[in-house]
Amino acid sequence: MVGIGGLEASELQLSALVLYDGESRMRTLGLCQLPAAAVGALQPVLGALGEPIELVSCWGEQRGRLWRPLPPTLVAEVTATHVDRGRLRQPARFERWWPDREPEDCRQDQPSRNASSSRSASARMS
């Protein structure tokens, strides 16, 4: 499970994924493209979106995208192909919303390897 910590200002379909560290600080994990059907769940929280801000990537370069911060109220399950040093190497794939979970349940120590195949490199955040 991951929290949704922000949305790209132009499309509202690219979301920033967040996890909490051992000191209860929110840390960015990576990105996820939300399918159109999943965007409907965002309607109740769109009024809480902050003013657009430009974010710097984890490598220190400007990405040129404007993001709208979102209070962490939504929890999603995503699948990623590779996690490197606590960050996603590519955008994650959205699986489903978890409306009965709290964002604080999304901890950095919880991503686990999918053990269904020894050749599988997917990590499921759930």
- pLDDT on residue 55: 66
Torsion of CA 82, 84, 64, 72, to 10 degrees: 80
Tell me which residues of the chain have a pLDDT lower than 50.
Answer: 62, 113-126
- pLDDT on residue 57: 60
pTM of the model: 0.72
CATH of domain 2-125: 2.40.50.140
User: Is the distance from CB of 107 to CB of 23 less than 8 angstroms?
Assistant: no
Distance CA 5, CA 15 (A): 7
- pLDDT on residue 95: 93
- pLDDT on residue 117: 32
- pLDDT on residue 26: 83
Distance CA 61, CA 41 (A): 32
- pLDDT on residue 106: 87
Residue listed under structure tokens 């990623």? 80
Q: Where are the domains of the chain?
A: 2-125
- What are 23's two structure tokens? 């000191």
